[in-house]
């Protein structure tokens, strides 16, 4: 009897995984094609130093894509990710060279991200306010706080720490895999298991005893943590902090998540899809640069690709529904 129940559970699990992974194989194929084109245009990519430098440019985008995706999976969205990245960068640059050192700076960056994310989550979830409005207001507050801490680019990151994260070793690539592994472990926790239910059918999940509000608030806290850690890495790359360095990451995080197949309405998509979407967006930017696209054309091309990524699944679904 127990073996039959276990077999039924396995079938259900793989059916759910199949639904979540629908379309990812096509995404992986596109990513592989762009990587091959990039390697052709820039043969140095195939060296350890080339992989290291590319991973360093990709990691911040991967982190903010995950930060946005975890909110989109719960049916939310954040317009404060860019400002939170800037805040993480200035906190790192102003604390790591001080009394508490690198360890104290990492703690300060992580704590600020968790607290800010959790506060946004509490306001949006408990007060039943639209996430887009709450996070838009938060972006101005967080951006102002970053400017108060560091009015202009400055501060310093210890040289050895910058070399560790942004030197000629693939530390950034290792960090991407580490974060992905931690995400898988989080999905095995009660809050992680509640994540998809909270986004796909919050009313039904609540009636079934799922801690919907707690899962959503935790998602906001993790999103804030990932965003400030992205800022920390950028500060390590540049050796200093910049209070406006994260401005482009808000829209890029949405773009990467959408390219990865994460839906706006919650409950659809995977984190590996968001990571693959960030990789595709990062490679696209580099390929367009090597092909000589002017910056304006790069933005237009990115916008068209994003629209196509959103529209294609809808058109495919309509085509399948036709008799």
Distance from C-alpha of 320 to C-alpha of 231, rounded to nearest angstrom: 43
pTM for the model: 0.88
Distance from C-alpha of 70 to C-alpha of 77, rounded to nearest angstrom: 9
Q: Tally the domains of the chain.
A: 1
Q: Does residue 244 sit within a domain?
A: yes
Burial 122-133 (b: 16+ CB within 10 A, else e): bbbbeeeeebee
Long-range contacts of 311-314, Cβ-Cβ distance < 8 Å, separation of 24 or more: 313/23, 313/261
Report pLDDT for 97. 84
Q: Does residue 16 sit within a domain?
A: no
% of the chain beyond a pLDDT of 90: 43
Q: Which of 133-142, 205-214, 300-309 has the lowest mean pLDDT?
A: 300-309
Q: Does residue 129 sit within a domain?
A: yes
Q: Does residue 228 sit within a domain?
A: yes
Report pLDDT for 218. 93
Report pLDDT for 193. 80
Q: Does residue 322 sit within a domain?
A: no
Q: Does residue 35 sit within a domain?
A: no
Q: Does residue 195 sit within a domain?
A: yes
Distance from C-alpha of 289 to C-alpha of 295, rounded to nearest angstrom: 8
Question: CA nearest 269: which of 1, 64, 82, 23?
Answer: 23
Q: What is the largest CA-CA distance in the chain?
A: 70
Q: Tens digits of per-residue pLDDT, 91-129?
A: 999 999 888 889 999 999 999 999 999 999 999 999 989
pLDDT-derived band at 10, boundaries 50, 70, 90: low
Q: Average pLDDT over the chain, rounded to whole?
A: 85
Domain housing 107 = 58-250+264-269
pLDDT-derived band at 79, boundaries 50, 70, 90: very high
Rg, C-alpha atoms of the chain = 20
Q: Does position 263 have pLDDT exceeding 60, yes or no? A: yes
Report pLDDT for 7. 57
Q: Does residue 319 sit within a domain?
A: no
pLDDT-derived band at 287, boundaries 50, 70, 90: confident
């Amino acid at each position: 009897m127990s073996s039959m129940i276990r077999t039924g559970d396995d079938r259900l699990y793989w059916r759910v995984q199949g639904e979540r992974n629908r379309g990812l194989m096509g995404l992986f194929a596109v990513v592989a094609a762009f990587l091959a084109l990039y390697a052709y245009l820039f043969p140095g990519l195939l060296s350890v130093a080339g992989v290291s430098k590319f991973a360093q440019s990709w990691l911040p985008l991967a982190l903010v894509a995950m930060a946005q995706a975890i909110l989109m999976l719960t049916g939310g969205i954040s317009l404060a990710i860019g400002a939170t990245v800037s805040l993480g960068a200035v906190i790192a640059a102003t604390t790591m060279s001080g009394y508490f050192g690198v360890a104290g700076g990492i703690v300060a960056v992580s704590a600020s991200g968790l607290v800010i994310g959790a506060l946004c989550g509490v306001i949006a979830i408990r007060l039943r306010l639209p996430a887009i409005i709450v996070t838009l207001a938060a972006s101005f507050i967080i951006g102002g706080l970053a400017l108060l801490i560091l009015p202009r680019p400055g501060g310093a990151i210890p040289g050895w720490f910058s070399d560790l994260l942004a030197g000629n070793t693939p530390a950034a690539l290792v960090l991407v895999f580490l974060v992905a592994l931690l995400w898988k472990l989080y999905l095995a926790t009660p809050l992680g298991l509640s994540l998809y239910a909270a986004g796909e059918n919050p009313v039904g999940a609540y009636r079934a005893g799922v801690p919907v509000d707690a899962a959503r608030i935790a998602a906001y806290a993790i999103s804030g943590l990932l965003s400030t850690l992205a800022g920390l890495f950028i500060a390590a790359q540049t050796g200093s902090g910049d209070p406006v360095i994260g401005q482009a990451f808000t829209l890029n995080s949405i773009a990467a998540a959408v390219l990865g197949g994460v839906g706006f309405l919650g409950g659809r998509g995977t984190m590996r899809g968001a990571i693959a979407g960030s990789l595709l967006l990062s490679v696209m930017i580099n390929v367009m640069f090597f092909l000589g696209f002017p910056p304006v054309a790069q933005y237009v091309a990115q916008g068209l690709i994003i629209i196509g990524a959103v529209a294609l699944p809808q058109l495919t679904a309509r085509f399948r529904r036709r008799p």
